[in-house]
Amino acid sequence: MGETFHWLDVELVAEELAEFHPDADPIAISFPDLKQLVEELDGFVPQKDHPCNERILEAIQANWIREQADASDDFDDD
């Protein structure tokens, strides 16, 4: 990948989560566990001025759900 990202890059974070955890159910993952999954992603670099909060985790979760749905639609089209 090569680039770094942080908490405000919710779409990119969701893409990374969908890629590296394709069998995970983002709806069933608690926010503390989601935060840990994000922090473990290669390229994730937290920024002091932009800490994580519930609103950011909700946005990441929603985007991850969307990513999975899009991937499922792409698979169904084949």
Which domain does 28 fall in, by range? Answer: 10-77
- Residue 71: per-residue pLDDT: 81
The reply to whether the predicted model has a pTM over 0.85 is: yes
Contacts of 36 (CB under 8 A, 6+ apart): none
Residue at 3 is within a domain: no
- Residue 1: per-residue pLDDT: 47
Query: How many separate domains does the chain show?
Result: 1
Q: Could you tell me the sign of the dihedral formed by the alpha carbons of 61, 66, 18, 6, in that order?
A: negative
- Alpha helix locations (H) across 1-78? 10-20, 31-39, 54-77
Residue at 4 is within a domain: no
Residue at 14 is within a domain: yes
- Residue 3: per-residue pLDDT: 86
Residue 63 belongs to domain with CATH number? 1.10.10.600
Which residue shows structure tokens 């909700």? 58
Which residue shows structure tokens 């609103």? 55
- Residue 72: per-residue pLDDT: 75
Average pLDDT per block of 10 residues along the chain, 78 residues long: 87 96 96 98 94 97 94 64
